[in-house]
Chains A and B, each alone.
Chain A
């Protein structure tokens, strides 16, 4: 079974631009979560999508948005990029979510650098 894939793996943007990251979950998984990881803050939850609906959202500004398609693939968009948005963005999939014993499988991440 193929794992979680994320594209692109690396991205360089300048301040003010917008960016779209893509995540393809493991086949059969319906939940996709997005995380931002920085050296100082560790992993921080952005949002979770389940069956094309945003089910939970972390404490990030509205510049961060996402969506999920009928095939469970998900995209994350960041508008008006800031230097502080430079981070590793991780996507994780699970069969039904992050509840009891529901293991999440992480993708390799997209390294975003904002200049």
Chain B
């Protein structure tokens, strides 16, 4: 069964600290993996998209890694800011055709001063 699991479910960190969010998936055949940031009451915004051949992708203070062999991805946030407080959603797409997207339930990150 194709699944995407994220951990932790929620996380509280101090402003300025780093953190890492995890995403494990069983989706096969794998096409790409995306990380989204969703602020409360808003739609998700794409942070990174990675394919099988990419193992690192950065977007400012956000760095995503992908290990396609172990089917694991992580999102590392450096020098966190209050504006990083949001839900981070991992989405995996398979190769079987249109819109076979599998969503994680997200990690809720709270950055406190």
Contact = CB atoms under 8 A, between A and B. Distances in A.
Contacts of A98: 93, 98-99, 101
A99 B31 contact: yes
The secondary-structure label for the interface of chain B is strand
Interface residues of A, number: 26
B99 A45 contact: yes
Contacts of B1: none
B32 A109 contact: no
Interface string A95-115: 001111101111111010000
Interface of B: 31-32, 34, 36, 41-46, 49, 51, 89, 91, 93, 97-101, 103-106
Interface of A: 4, 33, 41-45, 48, 50, 55-56, 90, 92, 97-101, 103-109, 111
